Structure 1
Amino acid sequence: MITLTTENFTERVLGSEEPVLVDFWAEWCPPCRMVAPVLAEIETELGLAVGKVNTDEHPELMARYGVMSLPTLVLFENGEPVKQVVGARPKRMLVAELGLA
């Protein structure tokens, strides 16, 4: 997984030619910890780049994309957010909601 920061977000997500799934999370968020292994499986099984934004460390990215609840997962394609899921989900549901199946 890619650790995303304010400094590398443009290059790693907006400038990526491949889709990137961005996980907006925080250490204190139990559902964020629940979804982390699911995202690792998705990254491995689907070959999808997954990046994580610690919202406590980079609140400006949270604000830029209107993230109000954690975890929020945003799928970026060609530098644009195309799908968003709020809250933890089982892998099957997450893959379906993001249109990755």
Structure 2
Amino acid sequence: MSESIDDERQRIRERKKQELRERLENGESLDAADAGEGVDTPDEPIAITGQGHLDEVVEEYDVVLVDCYADWCGPCQMLEPTIEALAAETDAAVAKVDVDAHQRIAQQLGARGVPTLVLYADGQPVERMVGAQDRGTLEGLIAQHA
């Protein structure tokens, strides 16, 4: 199974390289891409529907903040406005994993408590935090890996 995931990742990378080559050949500016804005990120959190969906999101965007949450979790509810603001105002894509609906994904992400936040950069997990985090800390981590 990991070979097929690796194959898919390689196909996505090759597609992105080809798109950049075509933009250069057409004389389009790559200033946005050079500033870390090559692929527009959604302005709202992405609700993850399964492992394949999470893999696609992590591969599509350079920086992805994954929020493992539960509807019944007080700290998760307190963190929600920050998560929405980060999606709207940073260059990171923000993905949300409901740990009750997707227990296996949460387990693979190392979520032993909620909220658990996992930051991906270039397809790899680079930070994992448990508990509610303040906006400044999260913005700093995103900027550091953008």
Normalising by structure 1, we get a TM-score of 0.87
Deviation (angstroms), 1:10? 1.4
Greater length-normalized contact order (CA 8 Å, ≥ 6 residues apart): 1
Residue pairs, 1:12-31, within 5 angstroms: 12-13=57-58, 15-31=59-75
Q: Residue type of the partner of 2:46?
A: I
Q: Equivalents in 1 of 2:98, 2:61: separation in Å?
A: 23
Q: CA RMSD in A?
A: 1.6
2:92 is aligned to 48
Greater fraction strand: 1
Match of 1:64 among 108, 130, 135: 108
Greater fraction helix: 2
- Rg larger for: 2
Percent sequence identity over aligned pairs: 36
Q: Equivalents in 2 of 1:99, 1:47: separation in Å?
A: 8
4+ residue runs of structure 1 moved beyond 3 angstroms? none
Residue pairs, 1:2-13, within 5 angstroms: 2-6=46-50, 7-13=52-58
Deviation (angstroms), 1:99? 5.0
Mean Cα displacement is larger for which, 27-36 or 40-49?
40-49
For residues 73-95 of structure 1, what are the alpha-carbon distances to aligned partners after superposition, in whole Å with 9 as ceiling and x for unaligned? Answer: 11111221101111112212333
Q: How many equivalent pairs are there?
A: 99
Q: Equivalents in 1 of 2:72, 2:125: separation in Å?
A: 25
Unaligned residue ranges in structure 2 (runs of 5+): 1-44
